[in-house]
Structure 1
Amino acid sequence: MSELVEHVDEYDRVLGIVERDEAVRLNRLHRIAATICRDHADRILVLRRAETLSRFPGHYDAMVGGAVDVGESYEEAAVRELAEELGVRVPVRFLFKLLFREGISPIWLGVHEAVVSEVLDLVPDSGEIDWYDWLTADELREVLDEWCFVPGGREALRRYLGSGSGSGASGSSVG
């Protein structure tokens, strides 16, 4: 059985509970929580998704995340996903929400930011992440349109980078 997610409307109000695979197959709007990680030198973590993943295998992303479980907040899901995918437990800061209708299915994407200390050893889940590195904002801007990024991640990253230092975005918006 697939993981259960909340089917939501265009205002992010819960309509019901569905299996995530069904939400994707039937284009049901659901929630995804993602976190952009930066270090104390303001470099941004960039990763390449594992080739074995069913969604966007081998694509680059600057966010770590996944589906928001039933009854879970965006922030709770973001913290859980960081622990599962990178092996770190750090606080996250909510930045913005983006209604994204492209990609494999429509989603509400709750974007967060976390500062990951250099002293923390990342332990990437090899089932999720094939490669990672830290890039400056300028380096990331150079590759954003050259590398094959996850579509929602690319859009969120454009907004994040456009906010100046990356820490100025806030509030909720529809994309």
Structure 2
Amino acid sequence: MSSADEILDVVDENDRVVGRARRGDVYDRGLRHRCVFVWARDPEGRVFVHRRTASKLVFPALYDMFVGGVVGAGESYDDAALREAEVAWYGFLSEGELEQRVGEGVWEFVPDGAAAYARLRAWRGAR
């Protein structure tokens, strides 16, 4: 089975399951579905950054500052986070180094990870 054939829970704005569909259909139709984002740091406070595998259905071989991905139908968020921890490359960057890499455009980051990172930075600034 390809990842496009994986069955996902379709959810409403309150994370209640309202149906199920193939991942490919969920993406094509822009249906709301569950995903996980894990922000990981090492003991020195550096952020875990990785490059996605080339076999990913969307954004193959791009960089991300979150470990995460789509939650399968009936799968828990914790199980999905653990399953998604397989990557092609990783390293730990200080937040300054990460911000520089995101800003300079040399590394192409996944759009949803970059958007989540921007929201995290805005949320931190609002506190």
TM-score scaled by structure 2? Answer: 0.80
**Partner SS, residue 11 of structure 1:** coil
1:161 Cα deviation after fit = 4.0
Distance 1:54 1:20 in 2: 10
Identity of paired residues, percent? 40
Query: Larger relative CO (CA 8 A, sep 6+): 1 or 2?
Result: 1
Distance 1:32 1:137 in 2: 24
Distance 2:121 2:82 in 1: 22
**Partner SS, residue 38 of structure 1:** coil
Q: What residue is the counterpart of 2:100 in the other structure?
A: 142
**Structure with a larger share of its residues in strand:** 1
Name the CA shift for 1:141/1:80 in 2 (closer, same or farther; >3 Å).
same
Contact 1:36 1:63 in 2 (8 A): yes
The code of the aligned residue for 2:96 comes to D
- Listed one character per residue, the Cα deviations across residues 74-118 of structure 1 (whole Å, up to 9, x for unaligned) are 233223323xx1xxxxxxxxxxxxxxxxxxxxxxxxxxxxxxxxx
Pick aligned residue for 2:119 from 147, 151, 159 = 159
Distance 2:39 2:113 in 1: 9
Distance 1:160 1:40 in 2: 20
Q: For structure 2, list consecutive stretches of 5 or more residues without a partner in the other structure.
A: none
**Partner SS, residue 21 of structure 1:** helix
**Partner SS, residue 10 of structure 1:** coil
Corresponding pairs, count:
120
1:144 Cα deviation after fit = 1.1
**Partner SS, residue 19 of structure 2:** strand
Contact 1:61 1:149 in 2 (8 A): yes
**Structure with a larger share of its residues in helix:** 2
Distance 1:75 1:158 in 2: 23
1:142 Cα deviation after fit = 0.9
Distance 2:30 2:115 in 1: 19
The code of the aligned residue for 1:149 comes to F
Q: For structure 1, list consecutive stretches of 5 or more residues without a partner in the other structure.
A: 86-123, 170-175
The code of the aligned residue for 2:47 comes to I
**Is the counterpart of residue 14 in structure 1 residue 21 in structure 2?**
no
1:61 Cα deviation after fit = 0.3
Q: CA RMSD in A?
A: 2.1
